Amino acid sequence: MESLTAIIADTNFTMVDWGIVLVYLVLSVGIGIFANRYVGSLSDYIVAGRGMRTALGIATLTGTEMGLVTVMYSAQKGFSGGFAAFHIGIISGVLAFFIGVTGFIVTRLRREEVLTIPEYYGRRYGKGVQVFGGIMLAFGGIFNMGMFLKAGSMFIVGITGMQSEAALTVVMVVLLGLVLFYTVMGGMISVILTDYVQFVVLSFGLVLATVLCIYHLGWNHIFDVVIAEKGEVAFNPVAEGSGFGFDYVLWMAFLGLVNCALWPTAVARALSCDSEATVKKQFMFSSVTFAIRNIVPYFWGICAFVFVMEMPAMKEAFFPAEGAGTAIDTLYAMPVFLGRILPVGVIGLLTAAMIAAFMSTHDSYLLCWSSVLTNDVAKPLLGDKLSDKGAVLLTRVFVVAIGLLILLISFVYPLQADLWDYMAVTGAIYFTGAFALLAAGLYWKPASKGGAICALAAGGLAIFGLPAVQGLVLGILGYSIEQIADFGATFSSERVGLATVALAITGMVVGSLLMPDKNTNDDREVG
């Protein structure tokens, strides 16, 4: 059986491609230095002075939400689930369009002129909820981001064919260092400017690579091979054995809503827009990219599957016979496939595009969680002791600290078999509670502080959707490995997620009715 090193080594990546990647990296660092001169206040640093218009809004929203980790987990999903995984992209696009048309949650938040989501909690439910919500958001967010660095670096190693055992570590450290540099320097202004450049490189790279995949494998041939190897389960997401099913589709529908209306990095873009009309247009047009950001990588994963199945050595490496050794991580399938079929120059452009995707996601996430820790945890606790300049400095310190923390997580936490499901569960720690707080706070007058605390606490239970956490808890309680496996099959991540959503909503409603706010009056703002 071929080893991972041998499989990775066979790539078309050359010095010309390294040159293209280098030019792009120098450009990103230059933007960080250039943007630093425009940072005057915390508002400039976190929401770019609220001066962003529609086209730039679409570019930066796409740049942020189409990260390299998205490309990696989607390709893995396409590799394992086939075309049936497309339903996730379609649902995502339709819900982004719905948010754009209705402005659900996002326009009302923009009207509030808050810097972060927990800041809204503070206005609506009080300082205690702001701090609690801020901690929950940062905890879930940083945990969620923990796998970004490793998954992204695996792409770079896979496509460039790096041989050294230390390659993955070196790539992680270098990429993180670059992102930290320009995020610390220019905050949201440099994030928006680099996002624009990244959008241009990324979008044309995606289209070109997809056309080349089809050219190389043949349009009909791709479908024929998938039909022959997997049958209906690779096309019908609700068919038995597809790996999805109705509860999974329902969970994806909720995640689609969350990705647009609740996920802090997406909401940060809405808060940076110059008007509510711009917010709506931004989401309406971005619905195309919300769908494509999943569909194109699924397709690459499917193409990688077709490629692997037609090369006996690779088929054996990714799908070894029982007892013939350990299978290569399926995350490597797509980059290895692209490394073999794309020509010199194009492969450099695509790698630059993927590094662009990596950096645009990391910078936004780092800035988002650090802004929350400054604005919603440190500021309410320190009060007037924290000046505007002190807040910018503290945000920069948090950016570096979170960066180092995710590097640590990359080293100690084993990468899960299905990265997308890991991310959905860790994200749910924050967004299940946030959905109840925002929807009720903005649209339901009786929503109270008591209800908000119940909903946030209920949201934290989503962590039990992670198989590793289920195993740990049940293991401590004395359950056997077989019993833990049975439990995991019954309480799958999507079922735990949906149950947590229901629990958080119930907590908000029951908590608000049983513990109404003392100062409730009829003219209280609900949005």
Partner 1 sequence: MDFWILLWKATLIIGLTAFTILAIGVTYFGALDVKHLLVTLKNSQDKGE
- Applying CB under 8 A, which residues contact partner 1? 38, 40-41, 44, 48-49, 51-59, 62, 83-84, 86, 89-90, 93, 189, 192-193, 196, 199-200, 203-204, 206-207, 210, 223, 227, 231-232, 235-236, 285, 288-289, 291-292, 295-296, 299
- Give the DSSP letter string of 416-483: PS-HHHHHHHHHHHHHHHHHHHHHHHHH-TT--HHHHHHHHHHHHGGGGGSHHHHHHHHHHTT--HHH
Q: For residues 53 and 524, which CB has a smaller minimum distance to partner 1 in the complex?
A: 53
Question: What does the H/E/C string look like for 344-400?
Answer: CCHHHHHHHHHHHHHHHHHHHHHHHHHHHHHHHHHHHHHHHHCCHHHHHHHHHHHHH
In terms of DSSP H, where are the helices of 310-345? Answer: 312-318, 333-341
C-alpha span between 61 and 269 (Å, rounded): 6
CA atoms within 13 A on the CB side of 360: 32
Q: Measured from the CB of residue 337, what is the shortest distance to partner 1 in angstroms?
A: 17
Q: Measured from the CB of residue 383, what is the shortest distance to partner 1 in angstroms?
A: 24
CB 117 within 8 A of CB 133: yes
Tokens at 348, concatenated: 């450099």
Q: For residues 42 and 176, which CB has a smaller minimum distance to partner 1 in the complex?
A: 42
Task: Calculate Rg over the CA atoms of the chain.
Answer: 23
Q: Measured from the CB of residue 287, what is the shortest distance to partner 1 in angstroms?
A: 9
Q: For residues 93 and 511, which CB has a smaller minimum distance to partner 1 in the complex?
A: 93
Q: Measured from the CB of residue 351, what is the shortest distance to partner 1 in angstroms?
A: 19
Q: For residues 40 and 241, which CB has a smaller minimum distance to partner 1 in the complex?
A: 40
Question: What does the H/E/C string look like for 197-212?
Answer: HHHHHHHHHHHHHHHH
Q: Measured from the CB of residue 367, what is the shortest distance to partner 1 in angstroms?
A: 16
Tokens at 84, concatenated: 């049936």
**Residues, the chain, total?**
527
Distances 208 to 198, 211, 300 between C-alpha atoms, Å = 15, 5, 12
Q: Measured from the CB of residue 38, what is the shortest distance to partner 1 in angstroms?
A: 4
Q: For residues 45 and 148, which CB has a smaller minimum distance to partner 1 in the complex?
A: 45
Q: Measured from the CB of residue 43, what is the shortest distance to partner 1 in angstroms?
A: 9
Q: For residues 83 and 332, which CB has a smaller minimum distance to partner 1 in the complex?
A: 83
Distances 253 to 90, 92, 250, 292 between C-alpha atoms, Å = 10, 7, 5, 16
Which residues are bridge partners to 372 per DSSP? none
C-alpha span between 91 and 255 (Å, rounded): 9
Q: For residues 120 and 199, which CB has a smaller minimum distance to partner 1 in the complex?
A: 199
Q: For residues 135 and 227, which CB has a smaller minimum distance to partner 1 in the complex?
A: 227
C-alpha span between 351 and 253 (Å, rounded): 31
DSSP class of residue 166 equals T
Q: For residues 223 and 491, which CB has a smaller minimum distance to partner 1 in the complex?
A: 223
Q: For residues 278 and 492, which CB has a smaller minimum distance to partner 1 in the complex?
A: 278
Q: Measured from the CB of residue 75, what is the shortest distance to partner 1 in angstroms?
A: 15
Question: What does the H/E/C string look like for 112-164?
Answer: HCCCCHHHHHHHHHCHHHHHHHHHHHHHHHHHHHCCHHHHHHHHHHHHHCCCC
Q: Measured from the CB of residue 37, what is the shortest distance to partner 1 in angstroms?
A: 9
Q: For residues 44 and 421, which CB has a smaller minimum distance to partner 1 in the complex?
A: 44
- Residues with Cβ < 8 Å from 432, sequence gap 6 or more? 458, 459, 462, 497, 500, 501, 503, 504
Q: Measured from the CB of residue 350, what is the shortest distance to partner 1 in angstroms?
A: 15
Q: For residues 74 and 160, which CB has a smaller minimum distance to partner 1 in the complex?
A: 74
CB 230 within 8 A of CB 94: no
Q: Measured from the CB of residue 294, what is the shortest distance to partner 1 in angstroms?
A: 10
Considering Cα of 289, then 285, then 60, then 387, what sign does the dihedral take? negative
Q: Measured from the CB of residue 288, what is the shortest distance to partner 1 in angstroms?
A: 5
